[in-house]
Structure 1
């Protein structure tokens, strides 16, 4: 019996019970269409074939591929300009209202009626084919070619709808329904601006949100909903049972769980002012603004398919000498105008891509992934060889005359064709130990490959130890941030995170260097720091005690001020993989594990997939739902559009706090400003005017880590 129990336990360990199948999920994406210049856009409408049409002041247009073109298919109508267009309730046939007639091309073109010239400018058609026509102080119903004038609504008509076989009118005072050949009031309104229908509910948009009344009694069925992203509502629609609203500040959709998806900024729309909306049969929403036509589409894809999208995107336009590159867009939002540019942390950002390919190779054994990992490593090797110093890693390099970031930090290379950037920081150092570890574990298979990786980290760690735990630049001075000596680290009080972080990163590097090289020097130095200088205690500082601690100035920087440092979180978690896996003893592993869990518990509200998965690999703990949520909501569009969420009324703001967690719940990533792992995920506003684009390695690393750790099938 015991043998059977042990065998069962082994099976559980080898096949994690928490593994999630990679099933298709719904991903929101934006499509923007090409619009001829000079059009005055009025209304978007879809017919029963899901064809998309736009009424303009210059004529009737339709979508052809990604282009809006003049609808010339019906020659008798091609040069005519409708005053209004609508689709018949139920059938979805298009009806055209002109100054002198209303007609359709459906039903073999039979339904039409001649009208008094210029009397009507609006039309809706019910399921029976009756046409409700409205104009200035005019109202009529056309049925089977006969026109019946009706008493006009005294205060005028704001909206007309055909629903449930009858007509409804919204004025600025009331909702009316058509009964016994005239309109009767159903519900008195105040400042209602939009109307839609769902079951027996009449949904009404206002300047303060939306509410619903029963279509038969006029009684309130849904109270005024004010906790919506934008309460000023111009348009209301129901698509696939979900309520949509168009506002002067974007569109939003009510989800099945009662929360809202908010689609604003140029990530989603060409501008935020919504004029008109129309849905197709799949629930995709077409949003018309004064200047453009946009679609918010809901595609079904797996996380693997999403990864393939970013893999292709990166290889197409984001590789610079092996480094990952974000793009400068000479024309905002236009990736065709892109230039690859160096940044302050090419090594750190590239480490995410390199390590994603290392995990990918470990999972798939695809030689392409191995090739991409080594190509990225070539850039890391060259940061050592391109400068005239021994073991000092350059931040980045570029052909002479084309540098981009921080021009004062660039130096001439011994190779006259190139320049290199100095002032290397601890951020970059973390990238070096991280990529060394994952290459060693997952990619380097031959003795020659192992030696390449070992030589790389050996040179860097030798430089650091030889220079008293600093990186010394060409001016023979330590750089601003690459410092791990006890005089610097222990100068910090325990309430400033740099004391714990610096201790963690240098010990991880020394352990790694010892494991790969076997040089006792690294082990000796590590234990000296751990024991004599208290770095082990520093590593175990409780993150809950970190707080504002003014008065500690380092080269003009007040190190204890400014709130929580999310870049430090990024450095810490990448380092934790190395710290734990290359620990000298099991006792140290246990102590490191406790410190890592202490940090992870604080970070859990941010739902970061990388932090989750690294903690899982070390401590067996992770938030499965948050990790899947993070991967699914990661945006497909990584252009740095300006995003503004602070104006939203559907979020719960928290009082000011040290971690700058602004809201009680984290917004989906595709509603946040584009950011890397080193930013505060709770930032509500950010971005620019679309002048740059990130690559997507931020997604690829946690995706392939999840596959490697077998929590995603």
Structure 2
């Protein structure tokens, strides 16, 4: 082997090296710029090429993405044993508690900020349609975002469930148990209707037996004495109903694509903790209806959920690595894309085939955006937190795909 060839070969970075470096860089950026008050927000910069933060955005999704970030940090700790990850988990749970404390009723807030935060005004303007409420939190004035949706609950509890599964410290588990119990008790007390302080209902879980079961399963996981009976009662008739419910959801594989992330994290919480072979079999049947719909969508997050629930698969697992490498090629800012007239189209704003990951719409969590979407995005002012990379990457590390 010539010295020139050997030198060139030594400079070729292996995929695992690229991914590890990206994970470190994305996490460092997230910690520096996306947690101004402890829960996930996305910065708005003065210009697309500026590093100066002018405001913050996407405060209405703090609960769901902070939950996903907690899951990512948990898998990071499992993969590395890092003390930094350990303390990040503790901090994250403490900050998530504020999303429940701030409302004063155990209602989950979409997001919150100190009233005197320099970012409070811009977030309040953007989230005005969801309702901005004043409160006291830890003795200081605060504002919180209402109109809480089902996806905020599911993402919030997803993260806490993952942390409880893998972290055996009794102090941390006690904190998770208390937070999950308060959150679910609120839903049960309100008969699965999410009521705001003025009595209005922002959403209900009445039509989603799969989501009710998933939430109660998380409750049973962390507090069996309190939630085992409600879960079993719901499961008695509900487990079989999950099949038609999900079957109806997947009829449209493009519109409201975020629904597929909700199915993924709900079934993940539901199936992996199920002890009954009969009911687990029903849940798996429902899950496979969903999985057959999305298994060719090029989705690293969904692939990792499938790895946990269905075990190793050489083709899928190799694809996951390639999808994560494709994510690395995406810009971190929300520059617009428009592939209309460029790729074959099969309907309004729909490509015939999934777009490559690097060509998809720039957004906060790419895996919940339709891979067929032809155009969208912004002007490059908003930066993504990168939780959509960190979560599947660290799951892949834990399950030895990388």
Q: Distance in 2 between matches of 1:377 and 1:681?
A: 32
- C-alpha change, 1:24 and 1:505, in structure 2 (3 Å) is farther
Per-residue CA deviation, residues 285-319 of structure 1 (Å, 9 max, x unaligned), is xxxxxxxxxxxxxxx95211221221222122222
- Are positions 1:612 and 2:310 aligned together? no
Which structure shows the higher strand fraction?
1
- Are positions 1:473 and 2:178 aligned together? no
Aligned to 1:506: 212
Other structure's SS at 1:667 match: coil
- Give 1:373's match in structure 2, choosing from 82, 86, 89: 89
Query: CA-atom RMSD, angstroms?
Result: 2.4
The 5 Å alignment of 1:71-90 reads none
Q: Distance in 2 between matches of 1:356 and 1:610?
A: 11
- Are positions 1:707 and 2:397 aligned together? yes
Aligned to 2:5: none
Other structure's SS at 2:368 match: coil
Cα offset for 1:525? Answer: 2.4
- Give 2:135's match in structure 1, choosing from 413, 435, 441: 413
- C-alpha change, 1:546 and 1:426, in structure 2 (3 Å) is closer
Other structure's SS at 1:412 match: strand
Q: Distance in 1 between matches of 2:23 and 2:379?
A: 26
Other structure's SS at 1:423 match: coil
- Are positions 1:536 and 2:228 aligned together? no
Per-residue CA deviation, residues 459-479 of structure 1 (Å, 9 max, x unaligned), is 011111111122222112332
What is the TM-score normalised by the length of structure 1? 0.50
Q: Distance in 1 between matches of 2:277 and 2:326?
A: 38
Q: Distance in 1 between matches of 2:81 and 2:347?
A: 48
Q: Distance in 2 between matches of 1:672 and 1:421?
A: 29
**Structure with more contact order per residue of length (Cα contacts < 8 Å, sep ≥ 6):** 2
Other structure's SS at 1:335 match: coil
Counterpart contact for 1:342–1:396, Cα < 8 Å: no
- Are positions 1:667 and 2:355 aligned together? yes
Cα offset for 1:324? Answer: 2.0
Counterpart contact for 2:46–2:53, Cα < 8 Å: yes
Q: Distance in 1 between matches of 2:19 and 2:399?
A: 15
Counterpart contact for 1:503–1:538, Cα < 8 Å: yes
- C-alpha change, 1:662 and 1:440, in structure 2 (3 Å) is same
Q: Distance in 2 between matches of 1:370 and 1:529?
A: 35
The 5 Å alignment of 1:265-284 reads none
- C-alpha change, 1:511 and 1:542, in structure 2 (3 Å) is closer
Q: Distance in 2 between matches of 1:463 and 1:542?
A: 24
Aligned to 2:8: none
- Give 1:591's match in structure 2, choosing from 265, 270, 282: 282
User: Where in structure 1 do 4 or more consecutive aligned residues deviate above 4 Å?
Assistant: 542-548
- Give 1:564's match in structure 2, choosing from 241, 244, 255: 255
Q: Distance in 2 between matches of 1:644 and 1:509?
A: 38
Cα offset for 1:543? Answer: 4.8
Other structure's SS at 1:411 match: strand
Aligned to 1:577: 268
Aligned to 1:633: 326
| Structure 1 residue runs without a partner (length 5+) | 1-22, 27-299, 490-501, 549-560
Aligned to 1:647: 341
Q: Which has the larger radius of gyration?
A: 1
Per-residue CA deviation, residues 394-414 of structure 1 (Å, 9 max, x unaligned), is 111112262413225011103
The 5 Å alignment of 1:429-508 reads 429-443=153-167, 445-479=168-202, 481=203, 483-485=204-206, 489=207, 502-508=208-214
